[in-house]
Amino acid sequence: MITQPVYFDHNATTPLSNEALLAMNQVYQFPYNTSSVHQFGSKANQLVNEARKNLQNLLNAHNYEVIFTSGSTESTNTVFNGIEGISDILFSVIEHSSVFNCRPHNKNIIEITSDKQGIINILDLQEKLPKHSNFLVSAMLANNETGAIQPIAEIAKIVHQKSGLIHCDIVQAVGKIKVDLEQLNVDFASVSAHKFRGPQGIGALLVRKGIDIKPLILGSKQEKGKRAGSLNVAGIVGFSVACMQAQENLTEFAKIGNLITKLQQGLKNICGDNLYILSQEVAKIPNTLFFAVANQNSQTAVIHCDLHNIYLSSGSACSSGSVNQSRILKALSAEEKFLQGGLRIGLGLGNTEQEIDYFLNVYQQFYQLQQKLCH
Ligand code: PLP
């Protein structure tokens, strides 16, 4: 029997780990400000520097400077606005909105297509690269909707051969697969703590040592003048604990792939030919399944699941009461009948086989009802 809410939306945000919460509660007992010269100030600096090391260890990022930010959105905005001399920014159509909608007015924006499996089209990128070297390419490591893992090391090689710079949104990969910045060879990376059991409102920008970047937020001289404002010490400590736990849990996280296989099979049994699973033929992060069902209204499906205490996401945004077609489904050239029927499941460490069975049961009821109404 399922008595607890079934949370299948870990790509949106994850529950804070007990250990991170405990560590944060301890920090909140003291007036820690890293700018203070007294003992509370030195303790704050010690905690923040430990966190920097934990993040560098998790990402093999010892040659990168860590700038703490409010999250990946701010990190990306800092990169797009803070590199001197960049005239062109290229990014793919499958990027998260924090990249896709970050279009500084003084820059030329170039969109790169994706193939039908949701992988960035490298040939298109090569054709669209500017003739000069004053450009930045931004490419995500794992897509937030499909989970598809992108060929970042290959893209970085192409970008560097043309003497450009590369930024990588690593948000959905951290804590789910091993992320090694040295091996990816990117110049900048953006990360958010709440996607891997850290707190919301804290993240980081990693900048390869030796590259200069201007601050987005101006004021005092925190973070070596790269990001003004008092540091969120408790948030940083929670982030730090989440980094250590992510490192320890990677093997366990990979096992979530078995639940996804079960889920996928169950959905095939229910929907048959009406089912379209995105990025089915490429490597993905282990916890993600994005599927669309012909002529389904995904918002109705989400509400049906919600009424049964199952929380998941639709692949299409609802605005002013009307359902928009999903940008990602369009980018992957999905057939018209699938465009409003996308559902995203993002599993986490606590999810169980029983929960998958329960979901399949609830979804089957919904599917069969919809079929009756249509015919
Ligand atoms: N990049 C990706 C791939 C994401 O999934 C998200 C969050 O949904 C973000 C960036 C933005 O993260 P935040 O809202 O924490 O800034």
**Residue 58 pLDDT more than 80?**
yes
Tens of pLDDT, residues 205-263: 999 999 999 999 999 999 999 999 999 999 999 999 999 999 999 999 999 999 999 99
User: What CATH number has the domain bearing residue 38?
Assistant: 3.40.640.10
For ligand 1, the distance from its centroid to the CA atom of residue 271, given in whole angstroms, is: 31
75 is a domain residue: yes
pLDDT of residue 55: 98
180 is a domain residue: yes
Answer yes or no: do 324 and 244 share one domain: no
One-letter identity of residue 186: V
For ligand 1, the distance from its centroid to the CA atom of residue 304, given in whole angstroms, is: 26
Position 324 confidence tier, pLDDT thresholds 50, 70, 90: low
Position 307 confidence tier, pLDDT thresholds 50, 70, 90: very high
Tokens 């697969």, located at residue: 177
pLDDT (average), residues 296-319: 86
326 is a domain residue: yes
The atom of ligand 1 lying closest to the CA of 95 is 3
* Torsion sign (Cα): 359, 304, 98, 295: positive
Answer yes or no: do 281 and 204 share one domain: no
**Residue 319 pLDDT more than 50?**
no
**Could you list the active site residues?**
318
Answer yes or no: do 361 and 314 share one domain: yes
63 is a domain residue: yes
pLDDT-above-90 percentage for the chain: 94
Q: Which domain holds residue 208?
A: 18-250
**Residue 144 CB-density burial (10 A; 0-12 exposed, 13-18 middle, 19+ buried):** buried
Mutate-to-test residue for ligand 1 from 98, 143, 170, 176, highest number of ligand atoms within 8 A of CB: 98
User: What CATH number has the domain bearing residue 265?
Assistant: 3.90.1150.10
196 is a domain residue: yes
- How far is the first Cα of the chain from the last one, in angstroms, to the nearest whole number? 33
1 is a domain residue: no
Q: Which of 199, 232, 250 is the last residue of a domain?
A: 250
Answer yes or no: do 330 and 246 share one domain: no
pLDDT of residue 271: 97
> Closest by alpha carbon to 21, among 202, 243, 198?
198
Answer yes or no: do 196 and 270 share one domain: no
Answer yes or no: do 259 and 196 share one domain: no
pLDDT of residue 320: 42
Answer yes or no: do 71 and 156 share one domain: yes
> Closest by alpha carbon to 114, among 336, 342, 335, 331?
331
Residue closest via CA to ligand 1's atom 5 equals: 144
Tens of pLDDT, residues 185-200: 999 999 999 999 999 9
Number of domains in the chain: 2
Measuring from each residue's beta carbon to the nearest atom of ligand 1, which residues come in under 6 Å?
Answer: 71-73, 96, 98, 140, 144, 169, 171-172, 192, 203
pLDDT of residue 1: 73
Tokens 């736990």, located at residue: 245
Position 325 confidence tier, pLDDT thresholds 50, 70, 90: low
Answer yes or no: do 282 and 238 share one domain: no
Answer yes or no: do 178 and 220 share one domain: yes
84 is a domain residue: yes
Mutate-to-test residue for ligand 1 from 73, 95, 141, highest number of ligand atoms within 8 A of CB: 73
Q: How far apart are alpha carbons 60 and 54 in whole angstroms?
A: 10
Tens of pLDDT, residues 20-46: 999 999 999 999 999 999 999 999 999
| Mean pLDDT, the chain, integer | 95
> Closest by alpha carbon to 10, among 341, 311, 239, 263?
311
**Tokens for 21?**
């919460």
**Residue 300 CB-density burial (10 A; 0-12 exposed, 13-18 middle, 19+ buried):** middle
pLDDT (average), residues 284-312: 96
Answer yes or no: do 167 and 182 share one domain: yes
Tens of pLDDT, residues 109-139: 999 999 999 999 999 999 999 999 999 999 9
The atom of ligand 1 lying closest to the CA of 140 is 3
Q: Which of 250, 276, 305 is the last residue of a domain?
A: 250
The CA-based angle 55-89-151, given to 5 degrees, is 55
Answer yes or no: do 121 and 244 share one domain: yes
Q: Which of 232, 250, 268 is the last residue of a domain?
A: 250
**Tokens for 103?**
């279009």
Answer yes or no: do 267 and 342 share one domain: yes
pLDDT-above-70 percentage for the chain: 97
Please tell me the chain's helix, strand, coil percentages from 3-state DSSP, rounded to the nearest 5: 40, 20, 40
